[in-house]
Amino acid sequence: MLMSADSSDSAKTSVICSTVSASMLAPPAPEQPSTTAPSILGVTGRSHLENALKLPPNTSVSAYYQHNSKLGMGQNFNPEFRSLVAPVTDLDTVPPTGVTMASSSNSPNSSVKLPHSGVIFVSKSSAVSTTDGPTVVVQQQQSQQQMPQHFESLPHHHPQQEHQSQQQQQQHHLQHHPHPHVMYPHGYPQANLHHPGGIAVVPADSRPQTPEYIKSYPVMDTTVASSVKGEPELNIEFDGTTVLCRVCGDKASGFHYGVHSCEGCKGFFRRSIQQKIQYRPCTKNQQCSILRINRNRCQYCRLKKCIAVGMSRDAVRFGRVPKREKARILAAMQQSTQNRGQQRALATELDDQPRLLAAVLRAHLETCEFTKEKVSAMRQRARDCPSYSMPTLLTISTLLIDRQRLRRRRSHISGPPTSVDMHRSAKQYQLAS
Amino acid sequence: MLMSADSSDSAKTSVICSTVSASMLAPPAPEQPSTTAPSILGVTGRSHLENALKLPPNTSVSAYYQHNSKLGMGQNFNPEFRSLVAPVTDLDTVPPTGVTMASSSNSPNSSVKLPHSGVIFVSKSSAVSTTDGPTVVVQQQQSQQQMPQHFESLPHHHPQQEHQSQQQQQQHHLQHHPHPHVMYPHGYPQANLHHPGGIAVVPADSRPQTPEYIKSYPVMDTTVASSVKGEPELNIEFDGTTVLCRVCGDKASGFHYGVHSCEGCKGFFRRSIQQKIQYRPCTKNQQCSILRINRNRCQYCRLKKCIAVGMSRDAVRFGRVPKREKARILAAMQQSTQNRGQQRALATELDDQPRLLAAVLRAHLETCEFTKEKVSAMRQRARDCPSYSMPTLLTISTLLIDRQRLRRRRSHISGPPTSVDMHRSAKQYQLAS
DNA sequence: AAAATAGGTCACCAGGTCAA
DNA sequence: TTGACCTGGTGACCTATTTT
Ligand SMILES: [Zn+2]
Ligand SMILES: [Zn+2]
Ligand SMILES: [Zn+2]
Ligand SMILES: [Zn+2]
């Protein structure tokens, strides 16, 4: 796993990638294998600070957060059993370090269309890795270790339920995963935790929270990991207009608990850590997708996702956003916008049947070796030959079919808009000028 | 089908038109053709965000919901067969995308008198579409795709019954409809689903839920679709005092599953999606009118109606109503009231025989070219002529007859008040201050 | 002082209940 | 089965506090 140093902004700079207190956190799963601490595979040092590029836009970040009043959604907690202990955060006792995990599978410079809004996700590496210095690769044995400390530390922790917590966050381990259904959220890989110290573990991917092994998780699109030379990851999800919640994809209202998130996820996380909440275990496979429209359907997975993306009481940032940070954010958003633009252009082309047809046809005629004319000639020649066989042509219809399939999949990802959407009108993240 | 981009309000602009997740939603009908994903015919982008108008009314919405204690009504479910499967929603696994469908047949700016209370329904387009941005036209292959995801996704889904589910929501497809009697409600077009992203598919009509092909459905009157520049539709039914249930016209107790609805319909829909309820197919023509007094007569059609008006687990909205939204609702109610006022004024005039007579007479005398005097003159001239024919006069009595007919029809629609009405006194939707 | 967020508030709703 | 009521959770807003 890759961990990038997260300079976050202001916070603790000295903390060096502290691993999670696995022991405390992960109660051994009765039937599951015990949790192991992640091992560092490789570490690369990386220079930073020079990032201090001049992106002195006096634009305020707050301008990019929007208000969204919106809708919650489903709900589905079976009162019958609440075996899952809500990871009650109890920071006081918890160590401040957070480790970010990135899925190593994500290749740098990869631009992926993510589930949420079908926007592209620019992996950090693509955006910046070029000149980046060192990167730390951490191999995790268990996901639990990556879990936010509060889980372990919290006094109210209910061990009895922990047996379920065993999760294999790691891609590597995914396969080996003994129990497909993990009951404990702790196993989630922790994202975004910025290392306070200079050496932070940064996820290779801007959306490390959703590593390969958790593909089932809908990943926010438009995430842009900006990391310029040593700069900590930003992991911003931007839809071209507003910053999105890294947990559910809704409009983010600010940087809450270390993560750009919406009012809903902020409140949910706050409640989760305030009380020693124990959420009922996921009734599915602990991999519920968390989107605006369904974020209330599974508290267990929602909290898991919150933690996965890095929400933590330790990551809290107060006060005004430092200029440098602001500049970085704006830059990330711009990059995101650019990426989106390209993405959109491509999508537009793909969705524009006439244009696509024209393009395909043109290309076909220009390059196909079996056009009517050519074939005629061939036939003629063939006829002059004793035995010959007709070539099979790839038809446009074939291409169209594939396109439909693609579109279906895409829409599937972004999810259908609901009537609720209409009523949305809330506050969004805004960078003050 | 028309889909308009719903810019909702603020939401993500960058979202690229996500199509409906047909695959997930529509379970293949055993005997029916498989569902296909809708194809986008055209998409128009629309600007948004500027909507950020200041609508700072501190009025609370809850004040407009009333309590209604009510009355039940008929009930007649034959236990013998329940062939219809209730669309059990099970979002977790479902993709978030929803496509809104509007019946293209509904023309914008149409003001229709609806069944329920004989009040006018202002289609969204009429109210606002003018300056609205782009609209997306989606051609749907199957109606199921448009169905709320829960239907497909729900684990409890009963395939055996799906064969009936094949429905042609689309007008286009209506004709082709293989099975006149659809057993599965899923086929219903989903209304109001806004795409979270900037480019959303918005129903062309404010009441897309009740597309042409479902004309038989009684539509609530007094519905007012307020959509100001990019604002999402409100689709509020207001009787001058309280917000009405879009399903049955009873007093709405709140915004449930994305629709203003009464406690009864809320509970009914909840039960429908919780259990894999299979309602017996409608014994009529699947077009039973759903009114407070008869809503319990046909579960099949009631659920169908619920879906038609947009109820969906994906449309759930939690938390307090945003101020902007609240303001919009109040404005819509006011508009509704105004409309009602005009409507009433007209109705009053029509029902005041003496006044009507006077008015008609006056108009007649002022404009008719065949008044006694004029005719006399004409006759005289005619007599001087060899051959002439007497003109046929349209008499006032003719007008009166038509009026009676109209009145009869109207009362029929609104339905006679039952004794139950008198005992009603339940909670109604109220906007808190 | 300005900008931003953690928390507190409390309007609102999904669901569960249970008498009818 | 239905639907009036009640409960717990949700999230839009507002305020106190922190940081620049
Ligand atoms: Zn969120
Ligand atoms: Zn879950
Ligand atoms: Zn109702
Ligand atoms: Zn019926």
Kindly state whether residue A222 falls inside one of the protein's structural domains.
Answer: no
Q: Give yes or no for a contact between B36 and B143, defined as CB atoms under 8 angstroms apart.
A: no
Q: Give the pLDDT confidence score for residue A62 in this predicted structure.
A: 76
Domain holding B242, by residue range, is 238-321
Please name the residues between 99 and 128 in chain B that touch chain A, using a CB distance below 8 Å. Answer: 99-100
C-alpha pair distances (Å), A142 with each of A91, A154, A313: 21, 20, 22
**What mean pLDDT, rounded, does chain B reach?**
55
Reported confidence tier of residue A335, pLDDT bands at 50, 70, 90: confident
- Provide the H-helix boundaries in B27-131: 124-127
Kindly state whether residue B411 falls inside one of the protein's structural domains.
Answer: no
Instruction: Check pLDDT > 70 for residue B236.
Output: yes
CB contacts, 8 Å: B196 with chain A: 117, 249-250, 292-293, 414-415, 417, 421, 424
The answer to whether the beta carbon of residue B11 comes closer than 7 angstroms to any atom of strand C is: no
Kindly state whether residue B412 falls inside one of the protein's structural domains.
Answer: no
CATH number at residue A245: 3.30.50.10
Q: Which residues of A250-263 are buried (b: 16+ CB within 10 A; e: fewer)?
A: bbbbbbbbbbbbbb
For chain A, what percent of residues have pLDDT higher than 70? 32
Reported confidence tier of residue A350, pLDDT bands at 50, 70, 90: confident
Rg (CA), chain B: 25
Q: Give the pLDDT confidence score for residue B332 in this predicted structure.
A: 86
pTM of the model: 0.54
**Beta strand A111-113 with B2-4: parallel, antiparallel or unpaired?**
unpaired
CA of A246 to the centre of ligand 1 (A): 7
Of B93 and B313, the structure prediction assigns the larger pLDDT to: B313
Of the listed ranges A3-7, A44-48, B426-430, the one predicted with least confidence: A44-48
Q: Give yes or no for a contact between A246 and A309, defined as CB atoms under 8 angstroms apart.
A: yes
Summarize the confidence of residues A180-202 as an average pLDDT.
32
B351: β partners: none
CA atoms within 13 A on the CB side of A392: 2
Distance between CA atoms of B140 and A407, rounded to whole angstroms?
13
Reported confidence tier of residue B389, pLDDT bands at 50, 70, 90: low
Protein contacts on strand C: list nucleotides below 7 Å from a Cβ.
2-17
B122: β partners: B111, B224
For A207-235, write each residue's pLDDT tens digit: 333 333 233 333 444 555 554 555 667 78
Kindly state whether residue B263 falls inside one of the protein's structural domains.
Answer: yes
Protein contacts on strand D: list nucleotides below 7 Å from a Cβ.
1-5, 9-13, 17-20
Q: Give the pLDDT confidence score for residue B120 in this predicted structure.
A: 30
Q: Give the pLDDT confidence score for residue B213 in this predicted structure.
A: 29
Instruction: Check pLDDT > 50 for residue A374.
Output: yes
Of A302 and A370, the structure prediction assigns the larger pLDDT to: A302
Closest Cα to residue A71, out of B201, B325, B295? B325
Q: Give yes or no for a contact between B86 and B311, defined as CB atoms under 8 angstroms apart.
A: no
Neighbours of A4 (CB within 10 A): 37
CA atoms within 13 A on the CB side of A180: 4
Q: Tell me how long chain A is.
A: 433
Q: Which residue has the tokens 């089908």?
A: B1
- Tokens read off for B138: 């989606």
Q: Give the pLDDT confidence score for residue B243 in this predicted structure.
A: 94
Instruction: Check pLDDT > 60 for residue B44.
Output: no
Q: Give first-to-last CA distance, chain B, whole Å.
A: 40
**What mean pLDDT, rounded, does chain A reach?**
54
Q: Give the pLDDT confidence score for residue A73 in this predicted structure.
A: 34
Q: Give the pLDDT confidence score for residue B99 in this predicted structure.
A: 31
For A236-287, write each residue's pLDDT tens digit: 888 888 999 999 999 999 999 999 999 999 999 999 999 878 899 999 999 9
Summarize the confidence of residues A376-397 as an average pLDDT.
53
Instruction: Check pLDDT > 50 for residue B323.
Output: yes
**Count of structural domains within chain B:** 1
Closest Cα to residue A52, out of A419, A328, A352? A328
ipTM for this model: 0.55
Instruction: Check pLDDT > 80 for residue A61.
Output: no
Kindly state whether residue A362 falls inside one of the protein's structural domains.
Answer: no
CB contacts, 8 Å: A403 with chain B: none
Please name the residues between 230 and 289 in chain A that touch chain B, using a CB distance below 8 Å. Answer: 238-242, 244, 249-251, 264, 284, 288-289
Helix (H) or strand (E) holding B335: helix B323-351
Q: Give the pLDDT confidence score for residue A247 in this predicted structure.
A: 98
Of B231 and A166, the structure prediction assigns the larger pLDDT to: B231
CA of B101 to the centre of ligand 4 (A): 22
Kindly state whether residue B358 falls inside one of the protein's structural domains.
Answer: no
Kindly state whether residue B245 falls inside one of the protein's structural domains.
Answer: yes
Of the listed ranges A240-254, A367-381, B317-331, the one predicted with least confidence: A367-381
User: Considering every ligand atom, which ligand is closest to the CA of A74?
Assistant: 2
Report CB contact under 8 Å: B14, A241: yes
Would the CA dihedral through A88, A93, A97, A99 be positive or negative? negative
Reported confidence tier of residue B300, pLDDT bands at 50, 70, 90: very high
Q: Give the pLDDT confidence score for residue A347 in this predicted structure.
A: 78
Kindly state whether residue A33 falls inside one of the protein's structural domains.
Answer: no
Instruction: Check pLDDT > 70 for residue B222.
Output: no
Which of B78-92, B115-129, B270-284 is predicted most confidently?
A: B270-284
Of A252 and B87, the structure prediction assigns the larger pLDDT to: A252
For A30-41, write each residue's pLDDT tens digit: 333 333 322 222
Q: Give yes or no for a contact between A415 and A293, defined as CB atoms under 8 angstroms apart.
A: yes
Which of A369-373, B97-101, B341-345 is predicted most confidently?
A: B341-345
CA of A290 to the centre of ligand 1 (A): 8
Q: What DSSP string runs through A30-56? A: SSSPPP---EEEEE-----STT-----
Of A326 and B349, the structure prediction assigns the larger pLDDT to: A326
A412: β partners: none
CB contacts, 8 Å: B127 with chain A: none
